Chains A and B, each alone.
Chain A
Amino acid sequence: MNRQAIEPSLKKIILFDILLPMVLLILGIAMGFLQILYRAGVIHSRSFLGIEYYQGLTLHGAINAVVFTTFFAVAFGHAIIRYYTQKPLLLGWAWISLIAMTVGTVMAAIPMLTGKASVLYTFYPPLKAHPAFYFGLVLLVVGSWIAFFSWIPVYRAWKREHPGEKTPLALLGIFTTFIVWFIATIPVAVEIIFLLIPWSLGWTPTVNVPLARMLFWFFGHPLVYFWLLPAYVMYYTMLPKLTGGKLYSDFAGRFTFMWLIAFSAPIGIHHQYTEPAISTTWKAVHAFFTLLVAIPSLVTAFTLAASMEHGAREKGGSGLFGWWKKLPWVDTDRWMFSYLFAGLFLFIFGGITGIVNASYNLDNVVHNTAWLPAHFHQTVAGPVFLAYIGGSLLLLTTLTGREVAMKKLNVWIPYLWTFGVMVFSTGLFVGGVAGEPRRTNLGLSYMNPGSPLYQPQWKFSRLFGSIGGTIMFIAMLLFFVVFFATALRKKTREGALELPVSEPYHDEHVPALLSMRPWIVIAIVLLVIAYTAPFLELAKARYEGAPPYAPDNPIAQTK
């Protein structure tokens, strides 16, 4: 496909969807850097520059993992739907979506920045945030739903005009992304609207914490597939083209997407292995379903490696490993390759450690330790983050008709980031197995030689964690320089939409994978199987409710 001129209004929407979270990301990344300074015992203090440790941690998680990802997924969705259907979108709804998401973000940001919502981005009750925080989250989610719903009639119209044609893989991937997101966000909407908001406003005195936690994790795991899927869309539809070849198997892509619709949600209890109030039977069922979700990732690893090999051999590569030399490692014209490949490399380790986390009783060793942030910095801060910042830069350049600034530097940024993540994660994996807790201001106690809790045996992990984290921070500073320098330079041609598009090498016809409907039905059936009994167990046990607590006060806030 070629360059397509798009409506100026849509261009504005997509650019705003990218620029707003990119500006916020500067704060999110800075907060990440401060985390490692506190945790390494460089800062022995409760707060730094007026921002308290746990407040900074909340900002880091909320901006990087919720705001940035949701905005990018919507922007990317607009672009993919517009590009592949070649039909105008429903711009009125796209504007409403953008406004709702922006207002929601501002509403949630104010209590976070003023220290009234230091509850981390998982906002577990009975720690209570300011009600505006919860309202903001709801608006952000509803805004993303509006964008999703507005694409459905456009896609329907495309199908009517192309009877008998396979839906392009990219469109299928975006719809998969938002179907997973929609399924995921219903339980968290129930948690926030029916449990947390009335409770935070003082209308209900207590909240059922085991119920709230189960609803949260019903959302929390499909959430990570919502993050991952836009990256998968780029891997399947862009990466083969960038290597100069074709997608090895169209079937693998469709299988991966459809399998993730079915299996990404009935597995949330694997985050709750060490909790009371859930029986081991259902923990085991969720463990088994979780392992099944690894299958498409293994298939993806094979397919993408095969696609890259095909591309490299097309370019004249040969030998068992010799073709590796023909990949566009630092090709400034195909710079997106380095963002996607570096993320894939991290995902090998992120995927393996994910299987460890999912492995039922192994979780006893790593649950809530530093192992967890090590794992998700190789996944969310690996393939997801690199694809999203690369994708943001790609959309910026094509839509505004600008060339990437500092091209040579740009292709190296993902490798520097990846090196940083590997060092950082090595430290945190080692620390996690040795019992070092996550989400903890270690600098005041466990990493403070003056404290009776001082744990010198965690020093090694802290050293690696802080060196790796510093490298990651430098990589991101360089990225911001490249990104904003690109945004500010002169344009070289008219802005338009142009994305790399891979063709399939094997274009198999597998009828079961052509329609999303049966897979949505399977997803619902699996959810009913996986969650009916656990919810009934909770209802039967009648757990005593909990009054709200402020993070800085051990006395409940009761009237």
Chain B
Amino acid sequence: MLEKRILFAATVFILAVAGVIALTVRLFGIGLPNCLTDVRPFREAKVIEHAPKRYEIHYVARMWQFEPADVSVVPGSTVDLYVSTADVTHGMQIVGTNVNLMAVPGAVNFARVKFDRAGDYLVVCNEYCGVAHHNMAGRIHVTEAATAPPKPPPPTVPLMRGQKVLDDNGCTACHSLDGSASPGGTFKGLYGSTRQLADGKTVTADDAYIRESIEKPEAKLVKGLDPIMPALPVASDEITSVIEYLKTLK
């Protein structure tokens, strides 16, 4: 019966595929993340250089950023990556490598990767994690010069409307525009006001303060607010348009 021979051939083909996969695991060591139960979920990001070209990075994925956002290592480095999430489920793919990990609440994921080629590797969140999921990305710079990551090129687009920038980046999730109570404080009346900082100092909310607060949210913490704001990849001119917009929210 021809159909029985086809069934036999199909089975042989499938077993051959399984065999090839098993060989790649055995011979080349290309595996999948295993179950880790001896590492507690962590909330603190770390880059540890154990030895030259030997790193350990603790990534914290959170809505909507990776911490650390930028890491520099020298070519030829072997890096152990541990990934934990501070909130929802995230994905973490280092484009151009075999690193593709889910960050699942409650558990820690692990992969080891060797960076042979120099270059800027994009780290993408590839699991939906909320309204600003598309902004969640980081970089790994593999460069002989190590440490100082190159600045992104200056943006070339015309000014975008500040309100749209706030909306697109999910800012209004935590910052209300109308003065109502919100986790990150309202934007209404923010510009030009005096801010009480956690370290007891005060600062005026001027252009420089707002720009710094978007680029480095942890630099000047306002008293009473949690240090949870992500540093979003917003272009310089977009920040300018946000500042112009905030000036209108009296």
> Hey, which bits of chain A sit against chain B, CB under 8 A?
45-46, 52, 54, 57, 118, 120, 124-127, 208-210, 213, 248-249, 251-252, 255, 272-280, 283, 287-288, 291-292, 294-295, 298-299, 302-303, 306, 355, 359-365, 367-369, 434-435, 437-442, 444-446, 449-453, 455, 506, 508, 537, 540-541, 543-546, 549-556
Contact = CB atoms under 8 A, between A and B. Distances in A.
Given A291-B17, A361-B32, A364-B99, A445 B233 contact: yes
B157 A363 contact: no
Of A255, A274, A543, A552, chain B has the most CB atoms within 10 Å of the CB of: A274
Contacts of B32: 273-274, 280, 283, 360-361, 363-364
A355 B105 contact: no
B179 interface: no
Contacts of A295: 7, 10-11, 14
A549 B85 CA distance: 13
A45 B168 contact: yes
Interface of chain B, main secondary structure? loop
Contact of A275 (B99, B104, B126): B104
Interface in B201-250: 226, 228, 230, 233-235, 237-238
19 contacts: A52-B131, A54-B130, A125-B89, A126-B105, A127-B128, A276-B108, A277-B104, A294-B10, A302-B6, A360-B21, A361-B24, A364-B32, A438-B126, A541-B35, A543-B107, A546-B105, A550-B130, A552-B170, A554-B230
Interface string B126-146: 111111011101000000000
Interface string B93-104: 101101111101
A253 to B, nearest CB: 10
B62 A288 contact: no
A361 B25 contact: yes
A439 B127 contact: yes
Nearest to B10: A298
Contacts of B100: 274, 363-365, 367-368
Contacts of A441: 133-134
A279 B16 CA distance: 24
Contact of A369 (B10, B93, B137): B93
Interface string B105-122: 111111000000000001
Contacts of A553: 130, 173-174, 183
B35 A279 contact: yes
A369 B110 contact: no
The interface centre, meaning the residue of B100, B105, B127, B183 with most chain A CB atoms within 10 A of its CB, is B105
A258 to B, nearest CB: 13
Contacts of B41: 544
Nearest to B84: A276
Contact of A440 (B95, B134, B155, B164): B134
A277 to B, nearest CB: 4
A425 B83 CA distance: 31
B34 A279 contact: yes
B165 to A, nearest CB: 10
A32 B99 CA distance: 29
A209 B11 contact: no
B220 to A, nearest CB: 19
B6 A444 contact: no
Contact of B106 (A54, A291, A292, A545): A545
B125 interface: yes
Interface string B52-63: 000000000011
A453 B135 contact: yes
A210 B108 CA distance: 11
B156 interface: yes
A46 B168 contact: yes
A280 B235 contact: no
Interface in B1-41: 1-4, 6-7, 10-11, 13-14, 17-18, 21, 24-25, 30-37, 41
A255 B106 contact: no
Contact of A455 (B7, B99, B122): B122
Nearest to A448: B157
Contacts of A555: 174, 183, 226, 228
Given A451-B233, A553-B173, A435 B122 contact: yes
Contacts of B87: 126, 546, 549, 554, 556
Contact of B63 (A248, A359, A449, A549): A549
Nearest to A302: B6
Nearest to A122: B128
Nearest to A275: B102
Given A272-B102, A555-B226, 15 more contacts: A124-B128, A126-B87, A255-B7, A276-B109, A295-B11, A299-B10, A359-B21, A452-B235, A455-B122, A544-B105, A545-B106, A546-B106, A549-B88, A553-B130, A554-B174
Contacts of B137: 445, 453
Nearest to B160: A450
Of listed B6, B11, B230, residue having the most chain A CB within 10 A: B6
B63 A554 contact: yes
Query: Which one of B25, B96, B130, B226 has the greatest number of beta carbons of chain A within 10 Å?
Result: B130
A228 B37 CA distance: 38
Contacts of B191: none
A363 B100 CA distance: 9
